[in-house]
Amino acid sequence: MLDDKKFYSKLGTTYAPGIMNSILLPKPGTKLIRFTGGSYDVPSLPTAEVKRIFEDASPAAWAEMLQYGGTAGMPSLLNELSKFMAGHKINADPGKEIIVTTGSQEAIDLVSRVFIDKGDQILVGAPTYLQALSAFRAQYPKFVDIPIDSEGMDTQVLEEKLKKLKASGKRAKMLYIIPSFQNPDSSLMTMERRKQVLELAEKYDFIIFEDNPYGYISFEGPMPTPLAGIDKSGRVMYTSTFSKMVSPGMRIGWITANPDFTGHMIEAKNNISICNDGLSQYAATELFRRGDVERQIPKVTKVYRKKRDVMLEAMETSWPRKAKWEEPKGGLFLWVKLPRGFDTDALLKDSVAKGVAFVPGSLFFSKPVHNYLRLNYSLPSEEDIVTGIQALGRLLKEKLK
Ligand SMILES: Cc1ncc(COP(=O)(O)O)c(C=O)c1O
């Protein structure tokens, strides 16, 4: 057997398959109800719309799709993205301030490569998106955890931590934030706090990386203006994606930032992927032009609101009182707090044995906290939501006796 360990880089060693990979491998003949990733409701995917787009494509369109394209993205898609963002008060020049990326995940990777050095102080939510923590870790930063409550990131603690850093001769370089329906707890940051974050960024001179995949999936009125729509000095970089509102498989994401920042990120992307997939970019452009994106967002939001309600009702009727949660006002996840000392990593193994999977909360903290779990309601059917939540409720009652 090859001794694989001696070949990995220092970073490569950290990519050993984690708890989710080992536990969630499908076992033949058994059904696993997955409340895990943020996958799309399958019947709601825009299958017919995308099929029609390819049937209608002209020879010139096919040539553009199948050829190399510019690293920043297809000009027609960049124009559509600029128009789409203008509808949410974000002004971005399609010629130099937007890059199409392979999902938002590539945007996170680009930011990590271009802006983070070893030892940099990076402000993150506690909890926050696990794959952002993982992408940032590749540059060996120091994470500064800022608690999240039902109104989003706690700006008072943020200011205290910034003051402390300054007093010890250090400075925060970047804040990573998901203000609208934070992953994993679905909290929605108030407008007052959004403005405070921007004031603190000016005062303490750090940049902000705003990640907004879930803001469009809002159950109670339009999403509040993103930080990028309020920023006056070009210190906010903003990423969003088709993944939650249209299709994750298309891998269409984008990042907008000031032209100096995008210039550097385009060079970095050139090394990673040269350019995005042309077929997907063409389909995305046409979905915008034909009004399909505008129709798809309210359509899928309605489906997710119903599934959220089904999950909440099943939890209220079958879960122990010691488990606590808040009603998500948007997004795809329910975040559950269990009593201190409870270990959801251990619970996952028993839960999978009973045919139900969730994501243990420890993965969403830079320094593990074990008494939380995240449930996804966008992928499973309403029937599976009820069955899975009841099974998990029985297991929790047993464990919390
Ligand atoms: C907060 C957040 N950012 C980014 C992503 C990456 O999404 P994608 O690469 O599919 O656009 C996700 C996916 O779940 C997410 O939750």
> Tens digit of pLDDT per residue, the chain (401 long)?
888 889 999 888 888 877 666 666 667 778 999 999 999 999 999 999 999 999 999 999 999 999 999 999 999 999 999 999 999 999 999 999 999 999 999 999 999 999 999 999 999 999 999 999 999 999 999 999 999 999 999 999 999 999 999 999 999 999 999 999 999 999 999 999 999 999 999 999 999 999 999 999 999 999 889 999 999 999 999 999 999 999 999 999 999 999 999 999 999 999 999 999 999 999 999 999 999 999 999 999 999 999 999 999 999 999 999 999 999 999 999 999 999 999 999 999 999 999 999 999 999 998 889 999 999 999 999 999 999 999 999 999 999 98
- In this structure, the answer to whether residues 258 and 328 fall within a common structural domain is no
In a domain, 50, yes or no: no
- In this structure, the answer to whether residues 288 and 154 fall within a common structural domain is yes
- In this structure, the answer to whether residues 309 and 383 fall within a common structural domain is yes
- In this structure, the answer to whether residues 337 and 246 fall within a common structural domain is no
Ligand 1 atom with minimal separation from the 105 CA? 9
Last residue of one domain, picked from the residues 252, 272, 293: 293
Strands 356-357 and 33-34: parallel
Determine the structural domain holding residue 286 and report its residue range.
68-293
Last residue of one domain, picked from the residues 245, 277, 293: 293
Ligand 1 centroid vs 305 CA: distance in angstroms?
A: 20
Pocket lining: 211 vs ligand 1, CB cutoff 6 Å = yes
pLDDT score, position 367: 86
For residue 40 the two structure tokens come to: 């799309």
Ligand 1 centroid vs 105 CA: distance in angstroms?
A: 6
- In this structure, the answer to whether residues 147 and 274 fall within a common structural domain is yes
Ligand 1 centroid vs 132 CA: distance in angstroms?
A: 9
Nearest CA residue ID for atom 8, ligand 1: 103
Bond prior to 184 in cis (omega within 30° of 0): yes
- In this structure, the answer to whether residues 32 and 107 fall within a common structural domain is no
Q: Number of structural domains, the chain?
A: 2
Ligand 1 centroid vs 130 CA: distance in angstroms?
A: 10
pLDDT score, position 25: 65
Pocket lining: 247 vs ligand 1, CB cutoff 6 Å = no
The CATH number of residue 272's host domain is 3.40.640.10
- In this structure, the answer to whether residues 302 and 387 fall within a common structural domain is yes
Closest to 132 in 3D by CA, of 175, 85, 98: 175
Closest to 356 in 3D by CA, of 368, 344, 343, 364: 344
Angstrom CA distances, 9 to 17, 118, 144, 332, stand at 15, 16, 26, 36
- In this structure, the answer to whether residues 289 and 304 fall within a common structural domain is no
In a domain, 209, yes or no: yes
In a domain, 99, yes or no: yes
* Alpha-carbon gap, residue 50 to 71, rounded angstroms: 23
Strands 236-241 and 207-211: parallel
In a domain, 343, yes or no: yes
- In this structure, the answer to whether residues 73 and 32 fall within a common structural domain is no
- In this structure, the answer to whether residues 91 and 11 fall within a common structural domain is no
Closest to 280 in 3D by CA, of 240, 241, 332, 331: 241
Tell the residue number behind the tokens 């009820």, with chain if given.
386
Tell the residue number behind the tokens 């394209």, with chain if given.
69
Tell the residue number behind the tokens 């509808």, with chain if given.
87
- In this structure, the answer to whether residues 237 and 260 fall within a common structural domain is yes
In a domain, 334, yes or no: yes
Instruction: With both helix axes pointing from N to C terminus, report the angle between 292-318 and 278-289 in degrees, rounded to the nearest 10.
Output: 90
In a domain, 362, yes or no: yes
Q: Which residues contact 271 (CB under 8 A, 6 or more apart)?
A: none
* Alpha-carbon gap, residue 233 to 139, rounded angstroms: 26
- In this structure, the answer to whether residues 265 and 196 fall within a common structural domain is yes
Last residue of one domain, picked from the residues 274, 293, 312: 293
pTM given for the model: 0.96
The CATH number of residue 310's host domain is 3.90.1150.10
In a domain, 390, yes or no: yes
In a domain, 225, yes or no: yes
